[in-house]
Structure 1
Amino acid sequence: MKASGLRRFLRDLGPGLISGAADDDPSGIATFSVAGASFGYLPLWTALFSIPLMIAAQTMSARLGMVSGRGLAAAIRANLPRWVLWGACSLLVVANVINIGADLAGMAESSAMVTPIRAAVWMAFYPLLIIVLLAWSRYCVIASVLKWLTLVLFSYVFTAFLAHADWSAVLRYTLLPRFEFSRHYLAALVAILGTSISPYLFFWQASQEVEEERSQGKITVQSRQGATAAELSKSRKDVVTGMIFS
């Protein structure tokens, strides 16, 4: 890929990349850590198995946002009975509250490990920072910050090398699925797939596609409806990159 093509590719990355990075939240990392500590390399095949599922789900969400000009909740409200909307949104709120709590706790504890400041202080600081950014910053600024923050995920790559893993075993267990028919292993598989294919990301992806178009001056739903083949192709590359990165 030429330098100009690479720059254009990186510039086009957005909602899909950010959604993929958001999937690597503290609750997900905790799930993967527990599964790895309990079963070693055994669940590694789920990483490869979940990628096409994640791509399919997030691509549908992205296209829904681009073509309908609405987020997922608005699309449900426009096309399905009200009880479906209330049910989906109620479950989303519950899941988000739990997830946000886990994320803030993970961020606070991690910050306390590398600074002399107590976790309780960080726990108060991060919500205030998020509120300030959402209230007084434009979408394009927030999206740009989140996009650059995805680079932090490369720390996982460095950690993998520092862990001195048996790379032949990693490759073998990733490409050749192996099962352990026990209650704890099945529970770990459900947890891994559940935290990898998170329903809140469907709402996130569709809404961010809408926000991308709003930032381009497409304020009304009618002006946002429809997408060209080139736009859909660009979105798919973004989603595929984000899900593989995740």
Structure 2
Amino acid sequence: MIKKWFKNIGPGTLVAAAFIGPGTVTLCTLAGVNFGFSLLWAMVISIAATIVLQEMAARLGIISQKGLSEVIREEIQNPYIKQFLIILILIAIVIGNSLYEAGNISGGVLGIETVVGKKVIAFGSISINLISILIGGIAFVLLYVGNYKFLEKILVSMVLLMSISFLVTAILTKPNLVNVFKGMFIPQLPENGLLTVIGLIGTTVVPYNLFLHASLVKEKWKNASDLPLARKDTMISIVLGGVVSFAIIIAAAAIPSTQIQNVSDLAVGLEPLYGTASKYLLAIGLFAAGITSAITAPLAAAYVVKGSLGWDVSLKNRKFRMVWASILILGILFSSLGVKPIQIIKIAQIANGLLLPLIAGILVWVMNSKKILGNYTNTKTQNFIGLCILAFSIFLGLKSILKVINVF
């Protein structure tokens, strides 16, 4: 039974691995510390929206046997609109993922440093974090192998490890289950909670995951008869990712302190209350979150470039490897040297704020094309839910942009 489940699960777990990165972990930590269980409902909405959009991406990949960026390049006829979209996507995904990669690697570093302390070498005024290089090296080796099944097994294992680590930590805090369920199903918005709600949704419904999922499912499944397996994989994996987010919020809610800024602080804060085990469990979970996202962010960028530029190449092709290697190397440099390119990050956030509603809109449009999907187009219910998500993503994108340019 378990062996069969492992055989059929796959691309969805990579999507979960991508959205449960250090940024999500940190945001969930702050949500729990600052607002207790009161924002758990935002995660319920986030997970539901993610399942709907990722199911569409998976269905597109299996039926058309094309990635989302390939469909955009081939199906949009107006050359100016096509060129604008491709440029915007490349800027947002490639530049954005380079910067997020630094955060992913830094998150993995925090996990290890919680246990072993800092490992830094100084060359004059320049300090290099050795753990950043170690994590980047692990990600490089796993990506360079270029075998999808091998990569899938590694990431599935890491996601399960991460899930168990955070879930056990949450259980150790002995939360009030009645209050947990109230937080999940009775929406409330505490003072100053709006941006945290937007952040929780924005870190779960990730634009590059729509590209990644559509590209990955065709590595595993080739026929419409595989759709039930893909849907089950998507639902189980994303719910599992949601459980991780819930567990982090619940664990963080147990600490009555506003001095906690990330999950590494949370690990230290939990230790005197719940024992040394909680510290190590959180450290392992953060390391797993960092390493899984450090693999998926460069991989997603390479798939986007491949589809946008029309490359017919495999994971082992030199051009494909050059894209993910560039993203990974930039991430290692930013992380190991502590570089904080604020202006570039702002540009990347603005681009991604625009990208989510844009890609969600294109995805819903594509999912109604008989030419591409035949009898597997969206139902009226799927379109309604998709349009609701689109409307909210426009609101989310505007709020993100206004926040970045200090208008909000």
> Is TM-score (shorter-chain normalized) higher than 0.5?
yes
C-alpha root-mean-square deviation of aligned residues, in Å?
A: 1.7
Question: 1:211 maps to what in 2?
Answer: 219
CA contact (8 A) 2:13 2:155 kept: no
Q: Which runs of 5+ in 1 are unaligned?
A: 214-223
Q: How many residues align?
A: 227
Question: 2:239 maps to what in 1?
Answer: 244
Q: Please state whether the residue corresponding to 1:164 is helix, strand or coil.
A: coil
Match of 1:78 among 59, 74, 96: 74
CA contact (8 A) 1:26 1:106 kept: yes
Question: 1:30 maps to what in 2?
Answer: 26
CA contact (8 A) 1:72 1:206 kept: yes
Tell me the alpha carbon deviations over residues 101-154 of structure 1, each in whole angstroms, 9 at most, x when there is no partner. 111001012112223562611101111222222223422211111111121121
Query: Which amino acid in 1 is paired with 2:99?
Result: I
Asked if 1:101 corresponds to 2:102, the answer is: yes
Distance 1:52 1:109 in 2: 30
CA contact (8 A) 1:104 1:123 kept: yes
CA pair 179-156 structure 1, distance change in 2 beyond 3 A: same
Distance 1:138 1:244 in 2: 26
CA pair 177-32 structure 1, distance change in 2 beyond 3 A: same
Question: 2:202 maps to what in 1?
Answer: 194
Query: Which amino acid in 1 is paired with 2:238?
Result: M
Q: Which runs of 5+ in 2 are unaligned?
A: 77-81, 121-128, 242-408
Distance 1:179 1:208 in 2: 37
Distance 1:62 1:89 in 2: 21
Distance 2:171 2:10 in 1: 28
CA contact (8 A) 2:46 2:200 kept: no
**Structure 1 residue 62: Cα displacement:** 0.9
Pairing of 1:49-198 with structure 2 (within 5 A): 49-80=45-76, 81-115=82-116, 118=119, 120-152=129-161, 153-180=163-190, 182=191, 184-198=192-206
CA contact (8 A) 1:21 1:245 kept: no
Distance 1:136 1:40 in 2: 42
CA pair 109-79 structure 1, distance change in 2 beyond 3 A: same
Rg (Cα) greater in structure = 2
TM-score using structure 1 length:
0.86
Larger relative CO (CA 8 A, sep 6+): 1 or 2? 1
Tell me the alpha carbon deviations over residues 171-213 of structure 1, each in whole angstroms, 9 at most, x when there is no partner. 1111211123x4x311111100000111111111112113335
Query: Which amino acid in 2 is paired with 1:156?
Result: F
